[in-house]
Structure 1
């Protein structure tokens, strides 16, 4: 696949074909993913420490990587569907009414000093969360589907 290093914004007004490539967002300024069309990335790497802002729906079909010190913000009403593996060493912020879905047996691994700010919806569909620590005084889980089991463990 190809390697694309983006130092500005990503605007998709048509069709982008990932073809197994890797897109790296790396800038000293805030970057934005926007446009009128959903973008499907194969490998998405975020190294921008100022922040990458998701303002249009996206699908990541292989690997999402957020480097230590980098941040990725999913805006209200947006969906990020991540179907394979994630390595989150930085900050993932999901705004109110936004969704970050881990599906198709994907894995989201939070390592190092990673931070997940969740005001929207984190969905794990046939996937797993590793090394996720919840620091909260109240956790509410609603079972809306028959046959689902929820396990909470406090250390």
Structure 2
């Protein structure tokens, strides 16, 4: 069963979808800010008896008709099984929704964030057939908000910063 910490890392995005564009802006990634946003069912189960659920799945629709899906995953430690799971989530969502899909991995420690940023390759060495290259937010690229005045300017982003840095000892 996922922990409260695990749930908080991705649910802050579900409950405050505007945080996606602000978080991506921190990484210099252009993402639409004017969107119709909907929470999408996270169940990625097929007819086979294998259950797969992403942590949070959001659909973004811009006023000019384009749409994007963002899959948010909380990651507490490196786990090489995620290569296949994440590839599945991305492929499934791409097929189901027929639009660009982004994988956002949220970590609370630098080692896990570095691991998550490494391209995940499926295929032969030197000839991968599929590469999963997630966008990663962690304590090494999310600014720590310590000034109360700064925190008041964007309380949700400040809460996300606090969650991200909660296990950094600062």
User: If the TM-score is normalised by the length of the shorter chain, which range does it land in?
Assistant: under 0.3
RCO higher in structure (CA 8 A, sep ≥6): 2
Higher helix share: 2
Q: TM-score, normalised by structure 2?
A: 0.23
Q: Which has the higher strand share?
A: 1
